[in-house]
Structure 1
Amino acid sequence: MTLDNNYRQDLLVALRLHEISGERVGEVIAEVEAHVAETGEDPVQAFGAPREYARQVAAQLDPATGKPSTAWTMGSSLVVATLTLLGLNLFADGISAGAGEVAYTVRDLVTTLLLLFLAGGGVLVIFRAYAAGVRRAGVIGIGVTAFALIMATEVLGDLLLDDRTSLLAMPRWSAIAAGAVMLLAAAAMLVRAIRRGRVVYPVNRSA
């Protein structure tokens, strides 16, 4: 008997959401495939639902065996989100500024910080909720709530905050350069995370 592809994919996603290394993900999936092939047993009966089994695997790991700490994961995700958002804003504003300066008002700064907090926090909460076994309707509700708060922030910012007085200004080339550096740094961190998360199946080294 071969492992059902739906179970394999669901288990893969669930393991990734627990920030388990790609090498360990490959080992877990290979173990499940080998058990099913040898015994013919249904994987749900043998290991439980994919998300339940992923939680069991994650609970047995520490940073030395393939799972970084929650604080490290959240911190690195926030850094990537910050660099990406600020980098895009600076680069795009610098390109569109023409020959003038890039200026930011109180509204720009406040709404950007709130957007970063709500978007980054919303994504992290959605991932954690899914990994913890929250039902799909609950996960969708979290996403809708975060999106509604982001929209409300933009509307309230237009109504309540000063969007005329320049609080910070810089030459357009400075904004372009700073934005490019931030985007490159975010890309480097993402490449490192992708390499770490690449699924590596165990091989028969005696062959």
Structure 2
Amino acid sequence: MKIDTHTPHVEPDWAEAFLLELRLRGVGGRAIGAALAEVEAHCDESGESAREAFGEPVAYAVELAPERAAIRDWRAELLPSGVGLSGMLLTLAALGALRVGTRVEVTTGVVAVVVLTVVGVALVVSCADRLLRAVVRHWWVAALGALAPIGVFVAILLLGRQPLFTLSASGSLAAGVVLLAASTAMALRVTGLNDPVVGPEEAGGAGTVADDAMMRGLERLTPWLLPLLTVVMALPLLLL
């Protein structure tokens, strides 16, 4: 994933690493933009590279922000996914049970998926810094991170069909819809807290991270992704 910081005289890999480290240290978007604009102005005037003038990007970011100003609460961003996944599984199971007139069976596979989701969220939270660096440097890390769990969960659900207990189909459907709504509300709240990286007005755009229509569209779609997936997966149950 390439990040355009509008700093043509700064090495792109240096600017990306510098920006990411400041982000991880809780520095605000406008402060990051000002720091990038300052580096760009110096490199433009002196002819030096950013690495020659300021050293390694991570070390310079640590020098500017020696202590993490505001540790980002990754749980606030990952919790909606866990709640939404639980709501999706419960809703789909309830629709299947209502279609054939039975109760919802909670199987070993469903319990295993819920447990793995909790463990996975905990691991992502504990390794958030390293994961973010990997995603920025290698886009395929994000793709694998999104697709691999789906395949694993489907396999577990297919293999773990031993019933443990049953639930009311109508009650399960109501609970599933409530969980999906709650996850969407939490995700929308997190999306609304975005802090874009913007350089000073006098810098002529330097330090402002480029934003495009595709990224804005994906950002708007993300909170609604699990409800939309639930609807798509539920259509065969409702129509067949």
- TM-score (normalised: structure 2): 0.57
Q: Does 1:203 align with 2:201?
A: yes
> Which residue of structure 2 lines up, in the alignment, with residue 87 of structure 1?
87
Cα pair distance change 1:109/1:96, threshold 3 Å:
closer
Q: Report which stretch shifted further, 123-132 or 36-45.
A: 123-132
The answer for unaligned runs of 5 or more in structure 2 is: 1-7, 204-240
Q: Does 1:51 align with 2:58?
A: yes
> Which residue of structure 1 lines up, in the alignment, with residue 36 of structure 2?
29
Task: Report deviation, 1:78.
Answer: 4.1
- TM-score (normalised: structure 1): 0.64
> Which residue of structure 2 lines up, in the alignment, with residue 115 of structure 1?
116
- On the 8 A contact 1:95/1:176 being kept in 2, the answer is no
SS in 2 for 1:59: coil
Distance 1:41 1:204 in 2: 22
Length, aligned pairs only:
183
Identity across matched positions, percent: 21
- On the 8 A contact 1:81/1:116 being kept in 2, the answer is no
SS in 1 for 2:104: strand
Task: Report deviation, 1:83.
Answer: 2.4
- On the 8 A contact 2:107/2:162 being kept in 1, the answer is yes
Q: Does 1:42 align with 2:49?
A: yes
Distance 2:168 2:81 in 1: 23
> Which residue of structure 2 lines up, in the alignment, with residue 14 of structure 1?
21
Distance 2:103 2:48 in 1: 64
Task: Report deviation, 1:167.
Answer: 4.6
Letter in 1 for 2:49: D
- Superposed CA deviations along residues 95-152 of structure 1, whole A, max 9, x for unmatched, are 544434662525255323322233213323443236799xx9xxx8xx99xx79x959
> Which residue of structure 1 lines up, in the alignment, with residue 164 of structure 2?
165
Letter in 2 for 1:28: A
SS in 2 for 1:41: coil
- On the 8 A contact 1:93/1:102 being kept in 2, the answer is no
Task: Report deviation, 1:7.
Answer: 2.3
Distance 2:181 2:9 in 1: 48
Cα pair distance change 1:44/1:102, threshold 3 Å:
farther
Cα pair distance change 1:173/1:88, threshold 3 Å:
closer
Write out the 4+ residue segments of structure 1 that deviate beyond 4 Å after TM superposition. 94-98, 130-133
Task: Report deviation, 1:174.
Answer: 0.7
- On the 8 A contact 2:14/2:57 being kept in 1, the answer is yes
RMSD: 3.9
> Which residue of structure 1 lines up, in the alignment, with residue 71 of structure 2?
69
Letter in 2 for 1:32: V
The answer for unaligned runs of 5 or more in structure 1 is: 63-67
Cα pair distance change 1:176/1:104, threshold 3 Å:
same
Map residues 133-144 of structure 1 onto 2, 5 A cutoff. none
